Structure 1
């Protein structure tokens, strides 16, 4: 009886194998990002995309500055238009270059933390504005 159960399970597994293979083939990873909201977002600056792994904290800091600026801008303007929510990276890059480019790693990590706190403080109000606009 037990051997019959094992054979039945093995037969079931073999019959499902082609289905799993087809499903797996359909899951092709892509490096291209697509968004449901504001699909025409500006790409990160090339230098950020090419930054060496050991200096990734610099990229993270610029991303954190960008996020904080954008959420605060939504609240200030009471608008969640795509150009407000996802502007060019110029302003975030300028802040990074003016205030942090020569900082030590630990100083950049501390600045990232401060920018995350700013973003998190603005997020609830920005989310409410964007939800109302159908743009979150």
Structure 2
């Protein structure tokens, strides 16, 4: 009997706690970044891309991310314009090298740019943390 009461008490407390936590997780519509609030937005065409072409958007995002980390490491600076420049350079790489590529080639390139960005991230992170932009 004691076990039943203890289990019931646990479920009541857990349910109440979960309800409070759920209310605290209400998403906001404000999509403001934590650092560098003047980051350039993604090109508008990337937001309207057909879902069957979304792998292309992911590739451009990873190209942009890898370029960003590379610039920070090369400049040894994490000023906002260095870390978040306009998207034209990433778009250019995509158009020049991948616009006509097949799905699996894009997936492979996305993985390669992600690996590249993650490797550079190790060097860029302390630079950006020191600048307060991480």
For Structure 1 versus Structure 2, the TM-score category normalised by the shorter chain is: 0.7 to 0.9
Deviation at 1:25, TM superposition (A): 7.7
Corresponding pairs, count: 134
Secondary structure of the corresponding residue to residue 88 of structure 1: coil
Q: What is the CA RMSD across the aligned residues, in angstroms? A: 2.6
* Partners of 1:66 and 1:98 in 2: CA distance: 14
Q: TM-score, normalised by structure 1?
A: 0.79
Larger radius of gyration: 1
* Partners of 1:27 and 1:124 in 2: CA distance: 30
Change (3 A) 1:36 1:113: same
Secondary structure of the corresponding residue to residue 113 of structure 1: helix
Secondary structure of the corresponding residue to residue 128 of structure 1: helix
Could you report, residue by residue, the CA deviation over 1:48-98 in whole angstroms, capped at 9, with x for unpaired residues? Answer: 011111111000000000000000110000010000111111100000000
Q: TM-score, normalised by structure 2?
A: 0.80
Corresponding residue of 2:87: 89
Deviating runs (4+, > 4 A) in structure 1?
23-28
